[in-house]
Amino acid sequence: MNKSLRKAVIAGNWKMNKTPAEAAALINEMKPLVADADCDVVLCVPYVDIPAALEAAKGSNIKIGAENVHFKASGAYTGEISAEMLTALGVEYVVIGHSERRQYFGETDQTVNLRSLAALNAGLKAIICVGETLEQRELGYTETLLKYQTKMALTNVTAEQLKNVIIAYEPVWAIGTGVTATDDQANEGNKYVRDAIAEAYGADVAETVTVQYGGSMNAKNAEGLLSKEHVDGGLIGGASLKAADFSVIVKAASK
């Protein structure tokens, strides 16, 4: 982290977990534990949990996000949710292009870009996920792929809009597997992302963008990962479902 240049952000990604009542209970448990955080604290929750989560988080430093957003404003897109629907509720953040969306739901670099533009145009903060598979890493494509995914996601995003973008480097092989990237691997991946931003927007701009690491970040390994120059926070899956573990990560980012 380099807090003099960019904001540290710890974001939970609850995935398909928690009912509205369970969401409220977990947030109420977390609130006192993260109240003195010296970083931004975000919880991205299932759509149906959003009203309960916003209500529970009211008056606290916890911000609420969604886990996806559609790129059209309205229309015949059964099952989808628009950016305006999210902002109307009071949602501030949205995760876009998570590897599970890419893997199981046909998300492509192009749809990630369209969703990002829709989110940013609506005033949402976008947490855009990029990351290589184990096969791509072993073939030596990590840098090329991360730069490509980053630039594709940011196509037509203005430098002004970039202020509302967080990129999460999430190696696919580390997500939900318990296998974390080493501190140096995380830093290197995050640096490739920053280099791609520098190539597109200039080095000065790139230095100001928050780049998170995600993939089995937990209460034990967070401090080491967050000590690295280019790791400006985390996107946390499993450990964001446990108040105590999540708060340890928030504390590590608050140092």
Q: Kindly list the residues in this chain that would bind ligand PGA in the complex (CB under 6 A).
A: 13, 170, 175-176, 214-217, 235-239
Q: Which of 91, 105, 101, 173 is nearest to 136 (CA)?
A: 173
Identity of the residue, 124 or 168, whose beta carbon is nearer to ligand PGA in the bound complex? 168
C-beta separation of 250 from 20 below 8 A: no
Place of tokens 């209460």: 219
Closest approach, Cβ 7 to ligand PGA, in A, equals: 19
Closest approach, Cβ 208 to ligand PGA, in A, equals: 23
Closest approach, Cβ 203 to ligand PGA, in A, equals: 28
Identity of the residue, 72 or 236, whose beta carbon is nearer to ligand PGA in the bound complex? 236
Place of tokens 């969306």: 101
3-state secondary structure of 202: coil
Q: Write the single-letter amino acid at 123.
A: G
Closest approach, Cβ 212 to ligand PGA, in A, equals: 9
- CB neighbours (10 Å) of residue 103? 12
Instruction: Write the CB contacts of 42 (distance below 8 Å, at least 6 apart in sequence).
Output: 9, 10, 11, 12, 62, 63, 64, 65, 92, 93, 127
Identity of the residue, 52 or 214, whose beta carbon is nearer to ligand PGA in the bound complex? 214
Catalogue the active-site residues: 98, 170
Residue nearest to ligand PGA (CB): 237
- What is the secondary structure of 104-146 as a DSSP string? HS---HHHHHHHHHHHHHTTPEEEEEE---HHHHHTT-HHHHH
> What phi, psi does 220 have (nearest 5°)?
-85, -40
Closest approach, Cβ 42 to ligand PGA, in A, equals: 12
Identity of the residue, 104 or 204, whose beta carbon is nearer to ligand PGA in the bound complex? 104
How far, in Å, CA of 34 to CA of 31, rounded?
Answer: 6
Identity of the residue, 75 or 106, whose beta carbon is nearer to ligand PGA in the bound complex? 106
